[in-house]
Amino acid sequence: MSTNYIGQSVKRLEDKRFITGKGRYTDDIKLPGMLYAYILRSPYAHARIKSMDTSGAEKMEGVVKVYTGKDFEEVNGVPCGWQVNFKDGTTMREPKHPLLVSDKARHAGDGVAMVVANNYYTARDAADEIRIDWEVLPAVTNAKAAMEPGAPKVHDEFEDNMVFDWEIGNPKEEVDAAMATATHITKLDFTNNRVAPNAIEPRSYVGHYDPVYDKYTLYTSTQNPHLIRLLMCAFVLGIPEHKVRVLGPDVGGGFGSKIYHYVEEALVTLASKELGAPIKWTSDRSEAFLSDAHGRDHISSAEMGFDDEGKIVGLRIKTFANIGAYLSTFSTAVPTYLHGTLLQGLYTTPKIHLDMTCAFTHTTAVDAYRGAGRPEATYLLERLVETAAHEMGMDPAELRFKNFIPAFDGVNEPGYQTQVALQYDSGNYHAVLERGLEMLGYEDFKKEQEEARKQGRYLGVGISTYIEACGIAPSAVVGALGARAGLFESAQVRVQPTGKVSVYTGSHSHGQGHETTFAQVVADKLGIAMEDVDIVHGDSDAVAFGMGTYGSRSLAVGGSAIVKSIEKVLEKGAKIAAHKLETSEDDLEYKNGAWTIKGTDRSISFGDVALTAYVPHVYPEGLEPGLDFSSFYDPTNFTYPFGCHICVVEVDADTGKVEIKRMIAVDDVGNVINPMIVDGQIHGGLAQGIGQALLEGVQYDESGQLVNGTFMDYAMPRADDLPSFETDRKVTPCPHNPLGVKGAGEAGAIGSTPAVVNAVMNALWHKGVRDLEMPLTPERVWKAMNGQ
């Protein structure tokens, strides 16, 4: 049969169960005799536990056990997955992140006790009966303030709150010298606001120890089951990996917040063995605000220098990044290797220097959130470029074109070596901006804006161009940069005797549609029907190994591993086919699901070869039976999607409310397997990026209380906050992976935020407004418009 799935908007196979409410999430799992856990969390950001009395809770009917920090003092804390060194080479400060704290709480929401009972509500009510005598201590929630002398300390064992200081780019003195030649310098001081990920499905875990087989099973709402198993077994619990099965059933979104190994995963696993029963813990929504890792939270002071022709001559940045109270799994990589390395952007900036200080504060941990470091880099660059253009009286698009890296395909031209360690694979940056401006009707818009202004209406346009680094790899490189894990992916393609194909991938979907996209690739490459392909993921017993899904790596790394295994299947299949057709492999070609002798109509189907492989009665001598291959694919480089996002806003002159009139996104994510899925990912990312710009922001008060920890207080974007998105694509294939794909999951959240803010600044430039802190709430905008 003839198949052509790649590039088609095949409807998502998994949606049959999702949109009919039949998905099976961790909290849907009910095991016989299951007990329920509730975590009692510190009401204070920083407070010493003077004493704790759990007897009231223990006496309650239905309560099985109350655990406190003292029960786990011998257990290792959850580890950090990435080691970053200080500028002077010493290792980062890595305090223990205990499963429950026994000495003092270091952020509002720090776990202090776990009540296990025969149902959730009993556990929760019992937790109210735990009496704790607290000594409340002063707290610090801002990374810059945390580095001031005399700031309250998060970890008593260190002399101050610095996790590490770090730098990247050209030597500082070279950058200073370049900046000294600038005829114009644009300087911005700003905060990249802290946001909460808010996946639809709150975190949920079920630990189940089976004494008969001496085996643990953990069901977890994670983005990477194998990594959780590795971290939990090797670092926290010391249980051999072969005794632990980690299952990630359907997972309802993650946006980064479900990458990390959380203490509750280890708690339910340990307690399950001790209590001889499965134990479930599920976060409630408000608890998620306190205990899921947040994103962003940088305080920066950035300067970009230009010569008299508008060419960028240098970029100098000082940033304080908030890491929270403990080191979350990838927290240390985000402000450093995932952020500093993207400061070249799309520009030929010859000298760049980033001076980064990461600080502990009395807040929830900060880790990767959709884009992870790249949105922060893009925000900084695109705000600077746009502001510089206005300051110099130049057109912001023109200034970008002038400074863009020229197009290169990575095949005929080499990759582009940046000043900040990375080598871009391929790119054509002019093309996306040209297309974006064309979609907008840039020149017409400028006239419309003039007209509107005469009527007292404030229209503004903001441009943002971005590049991101996806599919982090290869392992050797990330290892040299401090990663404590490899960043490859595995895939097994198991052809069944009837010619049906089971694919076991280490990538793990949390809503991205892997079961469809991967099946499209497999069906196309094998020339079989999609319904003959089954994608298995999220089970550490079924899949050999995996690094999970984040950083838009699923297709670029996971998909490539599948292709590598398919190649092995076809290679062995050809040997069987040649034997059956009594010809040489060289005379065969594989197309439409069959091996055919070139120039003849003599062929053998994929199914017949599959059957022969398992029923090897007529079989080549010396060849093993079976048709089942695994691959571990370790890419040679990251992939580098890029794009241009343009936002048009109107600011209400009376109220300061920002209305997005148009949102244009032209993205180049390399080859596209399923356009509908890519569009969906772009749309979701745009919504999150716009949310950060206009609505969202985690707020702590001065005592470290999270004051907007519910959806009544934390403004998630809703449908009526968003316009209809106008999207288009350019395609610059990735030159180094077999699918030519780059990744699309984060793009929308990276480019959109600065586009929105730039648009608002453009609308209000004539009112003297130059910069505003996100989110751009009506109150902030109104005050700025009115000179307050």
Partner 1 sequence: MDLSGSHVLEAPVETIWKMILDPETLARITPGISQLELESEDNYKAIAEVKIGPVKGRFEGTAQIVDKSEHESLTLKVQQNSKIGNVAADVFMKMEPAEEGKTRLSFDGKANVSGLLARTGGRVMTGVANTLTKQFFDNFEAELKRD
Q: How far is the CB of 73 from partner 1 (least distance, A)?
A: 25
Between 641 and 709, name the residue whose CB sits nearer to partner 1. 709
Between 283 and 336, name the residue whose CB sits nearer to partner 1. 283
Give the count of residues interacting with partner 1 (CB under 8 A): 19
Q: How far is the CB of 709 from partner 1 (least distance, A)?
A: 4
Q: Would you count residue 288 as binding partner 1 (CB under 8 A)? A: no
Structure tokens given for 669: 């994510």
Q: Would you count residue 113 as binding partner 1 (CB under 8 A)? A: no
Q: Fill in the DSSP letter of residue 706.
A: B
Q: What is the largest CA-CA distance in the chain?
A: 87
For residues 547 and 528, is the Cβ–Cβ distance under 8 A?
A: no
Give the residue, chosen from 63, 247, 271, 290, that forms a contact with partner 1 under the rule CB under 8 A: 290
Neighbouring-strand partners of residue 647: 462, 663
Residue 556 Rama label (left phi>0; alpha psi -120 to 50; beta) = alpha
Q: Would you count residue 775 as binding partner 1 (CB under 8 A)? A: no
Stretch of 282-290, 316-324, 359-367, 527-535 contacting partner 1, by CB under 8 A: 282-290
Q: How far is the CB of 135 from partner 1 (least distance, A)?
A: 11
Q: Would you count residue 360 as binding partner 1 (CB under 8 A)? A: no
Calpha distance 187→298 (Å, rounded): 16
Q: How far is the CB of 96 from partner 1 (least distance, A)?
A: 25
Q: How far is the CB of 363 from partner 1 (least distance, A)?
A: 14
CA Rg, the chain, in Å? 27
Give the residue, chosen from 76, 85, 118, 286, that forms a contact with partner 1 under the rule CB under 8 A: 286
Between 618 and 712, name the residue whose CB sits nearer to partner 1. 712
Residues 117-146 that bind partner 1 (CB under 8 A): 128, 134, 136
Q: Count how many Cα atoms sit within 13 Å of the Cα of residue 128 in the half-sphere of its side chain.
A: 5
Q: Would you count residue 630 as binding partner 1 (CB under 8 A)? A: no
Long-range pairs for 773-776 at CB < 8 Å and ≥24 separation?
A: 773/190, 773/191, 773/193, 774/191, 774/192, 774/193, 774/692, 774/693, 774/694, 774/697, 775/193, 775/691, 775/692, 775/693, 775/694, 775/695, 775/696, 775/697, 775/715, 776/658, 776/693, 776/694
Between 106 and 572, name the residue whose CB sits nearer to partner 1. 106
Which residue intervals of 582-674 are DSSP H helices? 606-614
Q: Would you count residue 445 as binding partner 1 (CB under 8 A)? A: no
For residues 723 and 662, is the Cβ–Cβ distance under 8 A?
A: yes
Q: Would you count residue 50 as binding partner 1 (CB under 8 A)? A: no
Residues 674-713 that bind partner 1 (CB under 8 A): 701, 703, 705-710, 712-713
Neighbouring-strand partners of residue 218: 207, 246
Q: Would you count residue 450 as binding partner 1 (CB under 8 A)? A: no
Identity (one letter) of the amino acid at 767? K
| Closest to 266 (Cα-Cα) out of 201, 205, 326, 221 | 205
Q: Would you count residue 202 as binding partner 1 (CB under 8 A)? A: no
Between 8 and 703, name the residue whose CB sits nearer to partner 1. 703
Q: How far is the CB of 56 from partner 1 (least distance, A)?
A: 12
Stretch of 286-294, 565-573, 605-613, 620-628 contacting partner 1, by CB under 8 A: 286-294
Q: Mind giving me the DSSP string for 515-532?
A: HHHHHHHHHHHHT--GGG
Between 480 and 712, name the residue whose CB sits nearer to partner 1. 712
Stretch of 274-282, 283-291, 760-768, 772-780 contacting partner 1, by CB under 8 A: 283-291
Residues 10-49 that bind partner 1 (CB under 8 A): 43-44
Q: Would you count residue 740 as binding partner 1 (CB under 8 A)? A: no
Between 47 and 232, name the residue whose CB sits nearer to partner 1. 47
Q: Is 781 helix (H, G, I), strand (E, B) or coil?
A: helix
Between 671 and 703, name the residue whose CB sits nearer to partner 1. 703
Give the residue, chosen from 5, 209, 219, 289, that forms a contact with partner 1 under the rule CB under 8 A: 289
Between 140 and 368, name the residue whose CB sits nearer to partner 1. 140
Q: How far is the CB of 328 from partner 1 (least distance, A)?
A: 21
Task: Give the per-residue contact string, 457-496, with partner 1 (x = CB under 8 A; - = no).
Answer: ----------------------------------------
What is the SS3 string spanning 276-325? CCCEEEECCHHHHHHHCCEECCEEEEEEEEECCCCCEEEEEEEEEEEEEC
Neighbouring-strand partners of residue 565: none
- Which residues 6+ apart lie within 8 Å of 724 measured at CB? none
Contact residues toward partner 1 (CB under 8 A) are 43-44, 108, 128, 134, 136, 286, 289-290, 701, 703, 705-710, 712-713
